[in-house]
Amino acid sequence: MVSPLGIGTEANWSALLAGRSGVGPITRFDAARYPSRVAGEVKDFNPEDYVAKKDVKKMDRFIHFALAASHLAVEDSGLAISASNGERVGVYIGSGIGGLPSIEKQHASLLETGPDRISPFFIVGLIVNLASGQVSIRFGAKGPNLAASTACATGSHSIGDSFEIIKRGDADAMICGGAEAVITPLAVGGFCAMRALSTRNDAPQKASRPFDAGRDGFVMGEGSGIVILEELSTALRRDARIYAEVAGYGLTGDAYHVSAPSADGDGPVRVMLAALNDAGVGPEVVDYINAHGTSTPSGDKVETLAIHRVFGERAGKIAVSSTKSMTGHLLGAAGGLETAVTALAVARDSVPPTINYEVPDPECDLDYVPNQSRSQPVRYALNNSFGFGGTNASLLLKKFEA
C-alpha cells in the first residue's frame, strides 16, 4: 500500500484503525483559484527508494507508486521470482487516467520551446500499461502482462481478472492492482467543472464523509494498492502467509450514463450477486462490505439501495465502511488499495471505520461503522468498485481455512 495514510501495510492499517485522515490542502500546485482545494496526497515519498535515480524522470509518478507498492507486496509475500518460475508469474496493474502529469508538463514544454524539447521518454513514461511493464521488467515476471483502465473500478478489475488468469492455468502468481497520480491542475480542474469534488476547504480532514447527510462530493487521492495472488498449491508448497482467499468475482455494466449510477442500483446489485454466485455462496455469509462509498450525494445513496436489494433484511446487520473517508478516492488505484484493506479485515477480524459520519442521511441507513474501528469476526467480505461509464466490479474474499 502507498496512500495518503502512509507507505507500507502496517502504516496504512494502523492509520485506518485509528480513523486518521490523510486529506489536507493541495500542495502539488497552486490551487487558490479552484473551487476544491483539498486532496489526499502521498507524503514523504521518495521515488529513489524504489527507482534508480537515473530512471526517475523517465516515468510518471503513477509508475513510481506502482513500483513502490509492487516492491512492498513482493517482499511481504516472500515470493521469489527467478528464471525458473518467472514465466509463471504475471503482472496486471491498471490506472484510470495514467500519466497526466507528464502530459501537462510536456505540453507546456512544447508550447514554450517547441517539439525539439519533448522528452524521448514521454510516451513510454505515461501510457497506462507501463506500470505493468516496468514492474514486469523489475522482477523478471514473464507471464501475462496486462493493464486495465476502467476508471474507478480499475484496481478491482485488475485483481479479478488476475484471479481468472490463475484459475484457467495461464499463471501461478500475479502481481496486480492499480496506481494513480493525477492531483494536477488539469485533473482537479476537470473534476471541479463536473462539480464532483468536495468544496469543504476550511476543514480538509472532514471533506470526505461517505454516507453522511452533509457530504458534498469526493476528495481526490493518489497512490497504489498491489496484492499478490497465488494459486493455492504453489502458495502452500512454499509455506506462504495467506491473508485471504479470493472466492468470487463479479463484473457488470450499467448501460445508463457516463458518470451517474442508475437510481435503482441495477449494476451494483448484479455485480454483488455475480461475485456471490461465482463463489457458490448466498448473501447470508457476508460479514463486511468495503463500500465504494465515494462521498457523493447520489453514489452513496444508490450503493446503499443496492446493498438493501442484495441482502434484504440482513442489510442493516452487515458492517459497511468506506475507507475513502480517510484516504480520499484513489480513482484507478482505489480498488487495489481497498482489496488489500478488505483482505486485512478478513485476516485480522477487524473492520476500519467510516470517519466524519456525523449526521445520518435517511436514505443511507446501514451500519457504516461510524468513526471507530471494530473488532468482529470477518469470514467473508465484499469489496465494491464502481466507475465512470457504468463499469462495476465486486470481489468476494474469505478467510483461508487450511
**Counting every residue, how long is the chain?**
402
Task: DSSP for 192-235, please give it.
Answer: HHTT-B---TT-GGGS--TTBTT---B-BB-EEEEEEEE-HHHH
**How many helices and strands in the chain, by DSSP H and E?**
11, 15
Question: Which is the catalytic residue, given 64, 71, 157, 292?
Answer: 292
Question: Which is the catalytic residue, given 64, 71, 157, 329?
Answer: 329
Residue 64 annotated as catalytic: no
Residue 227 CB contacts under 8 Å (≥ 6 apart), including other chains: 73, 159, 176, 177, 336, 339, 340, 343
- Per the listing, cell 443496492 goes with 306
- Give 117-181 as a 3 state SS string: HCCCCCCCCCCCCHHHHHHHHHHCCCCCEECCCCHHHHHHHHHHHHHHHHHCCCCCEEEEEEEEC
User: With contact defined as beta carbons under 8 Å apart, do 294 and 357 qualify?
Assistant: no
Residue 192 annotated as catalytic: no
Task: Tell me how far the alpha carbon of residue 26 is from its chain's centroid.
Answer: 20
Residue 71 CB contacts under 8 Å (≥ 6 apart), including other chains: 50, 138
3-state secondary structure of 299: helix
Question: Which is the catalytic residue, given 152, 176, 192, 364?
Answer: 152
Positions marked catalytic: 152, 292, 329
